Amino acid sequence: MILSEQYKTMKDFISSLQDEITGTLGEIDGKSFSEDSWERPGGGGGRTRVIENGSIFEKGGVNISDVHGELPPEAAAQLNVKPGKFGATGISIVIHPHSPKIPTIHMNVRYFETESGKAWFGGGIDLTPYFPYEEDFVFFHKVMSDACESVITGSYPAYKTQCDEYFTIKHRNEMRGIGGIFFDYLDGKNPDHFALVKSTGNSFLKAYLPIVKKRKAALFTDDEKNFQLHRRGRYVEFNLVYDRGTVFGLKTGGRIESILMSLPPVVHYNYDPTFENGSQFDIMNQYYQPKDWLNYE
């Protein structure tokens, strides 16, 4: 299978984006990302960059991958395509800060093509905060709206709704965070969709860096840290039970360490935790449901 020019262009874009994001986050943290290049049995490989125990970021990863070869039947059934040769390239980011005043953030943008001629884009960004800074949530969603609307007018509401629905922990009927944007199976031959992916990728630092700078010096209590660790448990539940990227990576022989990079280093699983009515933790729990952040008052 000969990979398309668009595939190669996407590969170049995510490589440059990885350099920009790891360089910027490493500079603000004061600690550089370590790098681990890997090869995938069957074709392709990737470049994993990780930061651990920095001054701001407890654990973070910015991974790029370019995997190709034969698509296993189980993965083909999941994607609703015929088994055969495929190529998939993308970037995946998860940043877990020390401070509960700074949100966790996740981004993924990807491109997939098969020898049958099918091709599509997917991805998005979502935010998982632990403290009710409503102004940060509004700011984040405004950046997401601008990323969508600057490319495809009127697209943000649908992608915002898809994010709310996708990042829901169904067995708890709650979102893992406050959403963002999410899209999948967008026609790979439509140039607007490629532009959307690039706009999404380029919005990561615009959306996250101002929040990090604003909150990095904020003090926090043990109770606030414990709430963060409690909510990290919800993050783990979603990623291991529902996340399509995790499932696809495991079923296609992906690199385990890179796939599970998204998991936080420390998590609390207390039995049936409760929070005092009206407390900041009770208020924050109410935000893990869909809300219209662009018109929030």
Q: d(Cα 225, Cα 227) in Å, to the nearest integer? A: 5
Q: Tell me the backbone φ, ψ of residue 218, rounded to 5 degrees.
A: -70, 135
- Give the Å distances, CA to CA, from 291 to 31, 240, 284, 295: 36, 25, 13, 9
293 sits in which H/E element: none
Looking at residue 56, what DSSP letter applies? S
Helix (H, G, I), strand (E, B) or coil at 295: helix
Torsions phi, psi for 80 (to 5 deg): 60, 45
Place of tokens 């654990």: 59
Q: What whole-number distance in Å separates Cα of residue 153 and Cα of residue 174?
A: 29
Cβ atoms of residues 209 and 26 within 8 Å: no
3-state DSSP assignment of residue 70:
strand
First to last CA, the chain: 53
Residue for token digits 């660790």?
229
Q: Which of 286, 291, 279, 265 is nearest to 52 (CA)?
A: 265
Active-site residues, by number, are 106
Q: What are the CA-CA distances from residue 96 to residues 17, 55, 99, 122 (Å)?
A: 19, 12, 9, 23
